[in-house]
Amino acid sequence: MSSIQTNKFSGKTAIVTGGGSGLGRAMAERFAAEGAEVVITGRHEEILAEVAKTSDKISYLVGDMTKDEDVAALADYVKDKFGRLDILVNNAGWCPVVPIQEVTMENYDQAFNLDVRAVVNLTVKTLPLLIKARGTIINLSSTGATNVAPNLSLYCGAKAAIENFTRGWAMDLAKDGVRVNAIAPGAFKTNIWNVTDLDEEAAKAHEAGIVNSIPLKRMGDPREVAALASYLASDDAAYITGSIYKITGGLGQ
């Protein structure tokens, strides 16, 4: 794990969507520890409030990123409270597990509204602030964008779109000094593993099977994604844009 520099992002402001748990929480806490003012968003106030208690640098706004009015409210909140935005982390997402034989258009709308449309919407809404600050955008993709698994076609398709948006936006925004990159995680130890229809024994067997397929023989720690996000948002990565960073323990290479 890389060391935390407490003044690395002093004077800067970040948004982390889906910042109440998992990778989003780890990234929010990392940016705050390194001096940034961090605004997290999600649908459940009690979860967001718990994260905000960990640092006086973290504030929150309850919102559903699939709703236009909530996206606009988040952009306005950051503009009114801080007057700037240096780091946008598009992290919120949803992973439907369903084979194409059973997919409904409701499944499609749920997946693409959050995983794709919301990302485009928030990016467009906050772009004036990002351009003014010559900031950086970090999109969360997935190893599934290039290593497709059964029953995950909607998720993998959505994340493939995110990777191409990342590349396209990097080209569009280079002249404005805004860098755009994506992080593509593999299997990480987050609360998503508790959301399952399997009993405890079957869930453990399922997780063991996944770990066995990873060359490094372990799941990732969310703090490892946070460390990568910290690097990509920093001046150390000033010449990096349009890149997709896999962080998978060797899975899918």
Give the amino acid at 243. S
How many CA within 13 A on the CB side of residue 57?
A: 22
Query: Which residue is catalytic, options 155, 231, 239, 245?
Result: 155
**Calpha distance 74→81 (Å, rounded):** 11
Entry field: residues in the chain:
253
**Calpha distance 92→116 (Å, rounded):** 10
**Calpha distance 41→15 (Å, rounded):** 8
Specify whether 155 is catalytic: yes
- Strand order from edge to edge, sheet including 244-247: 58-62, 37-42, 13-17, 87-90, 136-140, 179-185, 244-247
Catalytic residues: 155
